Amino acid sequence: MKIRLNGEPYELAGPLSITALLTGLGIDPRRVAVEHNQIVVKRGAYESTRVEDRDEVEIVNFVGGGSGSGGQENSRD
């Protein structure tokens, strides 16, 4: 099945929970927030929320930023 993940098409074997999706992506659930079809998913509901074909999922985290443009990551050295 195909979902939209962070704005891009993404292929998955079949329906799965948010927990399974994050695990599969190697993402620590404590560090992110997840939106499922434009609704924020509470952490406690990751296990019970099913991602189905054609769903939209956004996974975000905090990055460096002040105002306006924001989101400009600092270099890593």
Partner 1 sequence: MTDTDPLVIADRTFTSRLIVGTGKYPSYPVMVRAHEASGAEMVTVAVRRVNISDRSQESMLDYIDTARMFLLPNTAACYTADEAIRTARLAREAGLSNWIKLEVIGDEKTLFPDNEALLEATKALVKEGFVVLPYTTDDPVVCRKLQDAGAAAVMPLGAPIGSGLGIQNPNNISIIKEFARVPVIVDAGVGTASDAAIAMELGADAVLMNTGIAGAQDPIAMAEAMKLAVRAGRLAYRAGRMPKRRYATASSPLEGVIGR
Is the CB of residue 34 less than 8 Å from the CB of residue 45?
no
φ, ψ of residue 51 to 5 degrees: the values are -95, 120
> Binding marks (x or -) toward partner 1, 32..71, rule CB under 8 A?
xxxx--x-xxxx--------------xxxxxxxxxxxxxx
- Pick 35 or 55: Cβ nearer partner 1: 35
- Pick 14 or 66: Cβ nearer partner 1: 66
Among 2, 25, 47, 48, binds partner 1 (CB under 8 A): 25
Residue 21 CB, shortest distance to partner 1, in Å, is: 11
